[in-house]
Amino acid sequence: MNSSASDRQGMAHFGVAQIMEVSGVECIEYFRARRDAEVSIDSAGKKYSSERTHAHRRDDMTQDRIGLVAFWKNYDRDVYLKAAQLADELGYDSFWLPEAWGYDSIPLITEMILKTKRIKIGTAIINVFSRSPGLIAMTAATLHDMSEGRFCLGIGPSGKRVIEGFHGRSFTKPLSQVRDVIRVTRTLVDGGKLSDAGAVLNEYRPFSLEIPERKRHVPIYSAALRPKAIETIGELADGWIPTFWPFDSMEEPHRWIAEGAAKAGRDPKEIDTAPFTTVLPLGDELGMARAKEIVAFYIGGMGDYYKEMLTNFGFAEECEQIDRLYKNRETRNEAAAAVPDRMVDRLMITGTPEACVEKLRSLKDYGVTLPILNLPNEPNWQVQEMFIRALAPQG
């Protein structure tokens, strides 16, 4: 992955929440209006309520795997800890924490591990440059043991601006660095010697982790957008975390994953596809409007990568118009209106909470095994709780 593409991948999740100006007031007002409308008496005198809707959803969704990822900026420890605990109670598969240039995610994850019971807790993502491969392996082994096997390691290259401009490290050979981190982590967590890891960027001595022997497996997820990086996931990792990849265009990256898995004699069906997924359960009109703002930002405000990617997925004319409108400050407000509904439908999930749940379920048809939902960026407990309950796999 070149530095431009990895910059986009490194900034993509951050960009969604920064442009997603769905205020707490809008969320609260929408869900309150739904609650009031759902509590009614029908002609037979039967009372229907939102609780009944949730009970019905429990029966349908128990087997579904859904993750949640918090927003890194203005992170509120109390709010997101409560969010993780609620997600634990409601049957979510996993809760993930990002890391950029705010809080260190590892202590926050440690706190969550100690205060949850069942849910997996993961990094989504930490970069592979600011910590050494050996330190990442030590962290993974420690959190695996503390969580009794619930920790997941999500990694990615980030981008040149963050790695060199914030961390002061050289951003060179990002894919090789990702591969080395996976190899080193696997080897050390499995109890092997570091010199046997097969790393290529450094020559290591035969260190092993001086920790109690036990069977450990830390699932490793990699954020990637380029073919070779995605192929590496099939060869070495347990899951793929894409950003802004059309749901109905997963066939080709799944082929790349299968090619990588074949090199290692692995079954590609065992590898998760776990995209960061923007869900706007705000009704058809408001949800679609907010989604179009986000798409316009990606195309016009995130450099050329996403514009080129969506052009290749059949939106050449639309991307040119959106980009032109967005880059001109006088017409930027018109860019969202140029985003067609069908583009939104391929990239995001919008509508009523019930419709969003059904759309989430349909992602299985495209090979998505673990959608990771972006939590609202506002650290307001009412907003977070409403979102988590509305989309819960069981509740």
Tokens linked to 47:
């009372």
12 vs 313, more confident: 313
20 vs 232, more confident: 232
Note the pTM of the prediction, 2 decimals.
Answer: 0.86
Taking the CA atoms of residue 111, residue 146, residue 96 and residue 209 in that order, the dihedral angle to the nearest 10 degrees is: 120
Q: How many domains does the chain have?
A: 2
* CA atoms lying within 13 Å on the CB side of residue 306: 28
| Residue 156 confidence (pLDDT) | 97
pLDDT > 70: what percent of the chain? 84
Average pLDDT over residues 237-248: 96
Write the pLDDT tens digit of every residue in 50-92: 333 333 333 343 358 999 999 998 899 999 999 999 999 999 9
Range in 150-164, 264-278, 300-314 with the lowest mean pLDDT = 300-314
- Domain assignment present for residue 167? The answer is yes
| Residue 378 confidence (pLDDT) | 87
Let me know whether 161 and 14 are in one domain: yes
| Residue 64 confidence (pLDDT) | 82
Helix (H, G, I), strand (E, B) or coil at 219: coil
| Residue 302 confidence (pLDDT) | 83
Contact (Cβ atoms closer than 8 angstroms) between residue 351 and residue 283: yes
Let me know whether 195 and 98 are in one domain: yes
The mean of the pLDDT values for the chain is 88
CATH of the domain at 77: 3.20.20.30
User: Which one-letter amino acid corresponds to residue 325?
Assistant: L
| Residue 28 confidence (pLDDT) | 62
Write the pLDDT tens digit of every residue in 178-193: 999 999 999 999 999 9
Assess whether pLDDT exceeds 70 at residue 29: no
Task: Supply the range of the domain harboring residue 129.
Answer: 3-29+51-279+353-390
Tokens linked to 344:
């939104």
Let me know whether 213 and 202 are in one domain: yes
Question: CA quadruple 182, 187, 188, 193: dihedral positive or negative?
Answer: negative
pLDDT > 90: what percent of the chain? 78
- Domain assignment present for residue 39? The answer is no
24 vs 115, more confident: 115
Let me know whether 156 and 197 are in one domain: yes
- How far lies 208's CA from each of 33, 139, 287, in Å? 58, 14, 51
Let me know whether 378 and 334 are in one domain: no
Let me know whether 175 and 70 are in one domain: yes
DSSP 364: G
Let me know whether 122 and 211 are in one domain: yes
Let me know whether 88 and 169 are in one domain: yes
Residue 44: pLDDT band by 50, 70, 90 thresholds? very low
Let me know whether 166 and 301 are in one domain: no
Q: What is the DSSP string of 317-370?
A: HHHHHHHHHHHSTTTGGGTGGGS-HHHHHHH-EEBSHHHHHHHHHHGGGGT---
Tokens linked to 347:
């990239």
Write the pLDDT tens digit of every residue in 295-342: 999 999 887 888 998 999 999 999 999 999 999 999 999 999 999 999
Let me know whether 316 and 273 are in one domain: no
Assess whether pLDDT exceeds 90 at residue 12: no
- Domain assignment present for residue 45? The answer is no
Range in 104-108, 309-313, 330-334, 368-372 with the lowest mean pLDDT = 309-313
| Residue 40 confidence (pLDDT) | 38
User: Which one-letter amino acid corresponds to residue 237?
Assistant: A
| Residue 303 confidence (pLDDT) | 77
| Residue 238 confidence (pLDDT) | 98
Residue 377: pLDDT band by 50, 70, 90 thresholds? confident
Let me know whether 227 and 293 are in one domain: no
Let me know whether 341 and 361 are in one domain: no
Write the pLDDT tens digit of every residue in 191-231: 999 999 999 999 999 999 999 998 999 999 999 999 999 99
| Residue 17 confidence (pLDDT) | 42
Q: Give the integer Cα–Cα distance in Å for 129 and 3.
A: 13
6 vs 130, more confident: 130
Q: Give the integer Cα–Cα distance in Å for 196 and 393.
A: 42
Tokens linked to 348:
């995001």
Helix (H, G, I), strand (E, B) or coil at 282: coil
Write the pLDDT tens digit of every residue in 347-361: 999 999 999 999 999
Q: Give the integer Cα–Cα distance in Å for 319 and 342.
A: 13
